[in-house]
């Protein structure tokens, strides 16, 4: 009888231990939405406490040009990563950026440029084409080892072992400045909730340079 009691207490202990482990590591999800409740695609979630250890063996990322669009519209890379800019159209493009994070100029070309560009500062890089002013793309250079980008459903899935959890949220159509990121902190599991980003519909622009003006006039 005593042996059975000892066995039962050990089973209970293991069950409690497993239960506590599940509490320590659990899945949570939320949706990034606009002010109208619609899910937002291309929102970038970067966790603040996951500092990136710079690596020399990062793969070369690709920002393509298809049907006079940058593809993908938002490319997420790590700080220090190379980006290739192939032109899959049957017309030539002239890709450039004068963002503070990375300024470069790949003059009129077809096929592939001579070499990829290296991005060595974290932040947002806005891309344009000097020939086709409607072409606008974004490269998000992360300084964290854990970065997520939402798809059309706007959903973010997290596996959290400890709270609080802090991260930033950025989206290309946000009303705030293009370089600004919204900081979110969940103190505990009860605070996990959908995130709202106020967006604006980009107005047609005659020139790429207007992306960097203080107003949309």
pLDDT of residue 202: 75
Nearest residue to 160 via CA among 30, 42, 39 = 30
Q: What is the C-alpha to C-alpha distance for residues 103 and 162, in angstroms, rounded to an integer?
A: 39
Per-residue model confidence as pLDDT tens for the chain (217 residues): 444 344 334 433 333 333 433 445 689 999 999 999 999 999 999 997 665 566 668 999 999 999 999 999 999 999 999 999 999 999 999 999 999 999 999 999 999 999 999 999 999 999 999 999 999 999 999 999 899 999 999 999 988 888 999 999 999 999 999 999 999 999 999 999 999 999 998 765 555 555 544 433 3
Tokens for 210?
């207007």
> Does residue 25 contact residue 160 with C-beta atoms inside 8 Å?
yes
3-state secondary structure of 57: coil
All structural domains of the chain, each given as residue ranges with its CATH number in brackets, are: 26-51+145-203 (2.60.40.1120), 53-143 (2.60.40.420)
pTM flag (> 0.85): no
Characterize 181-201 residue by residue with b for buried, 16 or more Cβ atoms within 10 angstroms of its Cβ, and e for exposed: bbebebeeeeebeebbbebee
Q: For 117-193, where are the E strands, in sequence order?
A: 117-118, 123-129, 136-142, 147-149, 155-160, 165-170, 182-186
Nearest residue to 72 via CA among 178, 152, 169 = 152
pLDDT of residue 6: 46
Q: How many CA atoms lie within 13 A of 186 on its CB side?
A: 20
The sheet carrying 103-109 orders its strands as 74-78, 136-142, 123-129, 93-98, 103-109
């Amino acid at each position: 009888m005593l042996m059975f009691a000892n066995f039962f207490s050990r089973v209970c202990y293991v069950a409690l231990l497993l239960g506590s482990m599940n509490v320590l590591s659990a899945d949570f999800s939320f949706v990034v939405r606009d002010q109208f409740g619609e899910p937002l695609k291309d929102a970038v979630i970067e966790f603040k406490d996951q500092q990136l250890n710079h690596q020399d063996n990062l793969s070369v990322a690709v920002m393509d040009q298809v049907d006079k669009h940058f593809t993908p519209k938002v490319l997420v890379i790590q700080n220090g990563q190379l980006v290739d800019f192939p032109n899959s159209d049957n017309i030539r493009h002239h890709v450039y950026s004068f963002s503070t994070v990375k300024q470069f100029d790949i003059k009129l070309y077809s096929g592939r440029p001579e070499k990829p560009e290296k991005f060595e500062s974290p932040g947002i890089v806005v891309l344009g084409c000097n020939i086709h002013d409607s072409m606008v793309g974004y490269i998000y250079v992360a300084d964290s080892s854990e970065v997520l980008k939402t798809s059309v459903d706007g959903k973010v899935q997290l596996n959290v072992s400890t709270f609080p959890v802090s991260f930033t949220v950025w989206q290309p159509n946000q009303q705030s400045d293009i370089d600004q990121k919204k900081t979110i902190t969940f103190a505990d599991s009860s605070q996990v909730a959908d995130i709202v980003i106020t967006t604006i519909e980009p107005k047609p622009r005659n020139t790429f340079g207007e992306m960097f003006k203080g107003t949309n006039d």
